[in-house]
Amino acid sequence: MTEATWVLVLLCILLTPFAAAGLALINAGLGRSRSAAHTMLASLCVIGVAALAYLTCGFAWQSFSGGAAHALLIAGKPWSWIGAGPLFLRRMSWDTSPAPLILLLGMFSVGLSAMIPLGAGSDRWRLSASLLSTALFAGFTYPLFAHWVWGGGWLRQIGFLDTGGAAVIHVSGGLTALAIAWILGPRRGKYSDGMPAAIPGHNGILVLFGGLLALVGWLGLNVAGAVLFNGVTPGGGIVLVAVNTLLASGAACLTTAAITRSRYGRPDASLCANGWVGGLVASSAIASLVNPLAAALIGVVAGAIVALSVEMLDLRLALDDPGGAISVHGLAGIWGILAAGIFGSGDWLAQTAGVATLLGFVFPLSYGINWTLNRFYPQRVAPDGERQGMDLHELGAGAYPEFVTHHEDFLSR
């Protein structure tokens, strides 16, 4: 890697916190006003805990291609299954090799991934419990899977491609969000009459601005990933990644707008923002692998998946996911991974194996960890706290102290 490429990748990685900022705004805007400050603070704390866990053991176990790793010898072939680097970044060489860039990208990525379940647990997930869950996710679940994909592990050995983190960051976070939504249960009053009650997000502007901000972060994430994990060299290849990222998100947003308009009479702003992010998530899998027309088509399907699955999860499966994290990051990400094999240069069988690993290993692992944690340290806030709002209950002050609070907000449902 030349020094110019190294600097370019560094600059792209430094854009990725915008993706986290966008996600935090979306999660806050789609939740209730009485939990807005809690959601934003949880986002900051989650990023901090994830970075510390990654420093402690995460990067050691993720490692990087060519780095130290444990391998199992099966049928005469070594299969790398976990990194074997030193803990606490000891013996890290801070030079212009790819390793420090992979570390920095990993540190931002693990924070972004750990933030995804916050959207599903909005309005009822205790701050301390979410941080404990994050520590376990960032310290074990994420690094293990990231090693398999980005660290030269067995999935990479069989040809699985995930250059922008659709699998490593988004689907792993989205499946953890599914586990959290199931373990926490729905918000009070969501299904009290048997049918789901609509609990709209409190600030559409935050949600839509979050979508725009996320685009900046995603451009950096996809370009950096394409260079580091797919060998794209500076030049037209990088422009193609950026073009595909924008096309996928734009097409997804327009599709969601069209679907919600045809179903409800008007485009749904918050669902459109979710569709936009769903397109970004899908683009993470395909941006460096397909042509622009295919990227737009993949975005169209991602937008349709988000628009239809949000409603299906809510109505049919009684899954209360205020931020739409499961649809946006889980389902759109899975589609992107499969699309890389269908439309791009990825091996479809290896891409299918990647999806199978996410569903058959990452989800049960994540569910088991959070279920066990919930047995010893309940993750859901007490009913009084939920009625009062997470801001007042856990932080002692609301995000909008000048707002008039209506007394019925405090009545038990």
Partner 1 sequence: MLHNAPVKIPPTLKLAGLLLLLSGWMIVVSAFILLQHLPARIGFVLAGMVVELLGLGVVVYSHGFVRRSKT
Residues near partner 1 (CB under 8 A): 74-75, 77, 79, 154, 158, 182, 185-186, 191-192, 194-195, 317-319, 349, 352-353, 355-357, 359-361, 363-364, 367-368
Q: Which residues have a Cβ under 8 Å from the Cβ of 401 and sit 6 or more positions away?
A: none
Q: How far is the CB of 74 from partner 1 (least distance, A)?
A: 5
Q: For residue 161, which of 25, 339, 411, 384 has the smallest C-alpha distance?
A: 339
Q: How far is the CB of 183 from partner 1 (least distance, A)?
A: 10
DSSP for 77-126? EEEEEEE-PPGGGTT---SSSHHHHHHHHHHHHHHHHHHHHHHHSTTTB-
Q: How far is the CB of 319 from partner 1 (least distance, A)?
A: 8
Q: How far is the CB of 157 from partner 1 (least distance, A)?
A: 9
Pairing of strands 69-74, 77-83: antiparallel
DSSP 408: G
Please name every residue paired with 83 in a beta bridge, in sequence order, or none if there are none.
69
Nearest residue (CB) to partner 1, 175 versus 252:
175
Nearest residue (CB) to partner 1, 106 versus 341:
341
Nearest residue (CB) to partner 1, 12 versus 319:
319
Please name every residue paired with 69 in a beta bridge, in sequence order, or none if there are none.
83
DSSP for 239-291? HHHHHHHHHHHHHHHHHHHHHHHHHHSS--HHHHHHHHHHHHHHHHHHTTTS-
DSSP 16: T
Nearest residue (CB) to partner 1, 181 versus 214:
181
Q: Which residues have a Cβ under 8 Å from the Cβ of 193 and sit 6 or more positions away?
A: none
Q: How far is the CB of 273 from partner 1 (least distance, A)?
A: 27
Q: How far is the CB of 379 from partner 1 (least distance, A)?
A: 16
Nearest residue (CB) to partner 1, 66 versus 360:
360
d(CA 343, CA 194): 42
Nearest residue (CB) to partner 1, 192 versus 291:
192
Please name every residue paired with 82 in a beta bridge, in sequence order, or none if there are none.
70
Nearest residue (CB) to partner 1, 1 versus 359:
359
Q: How far is the CB of 80 from partner 1 (least distance, A)?
A: 13
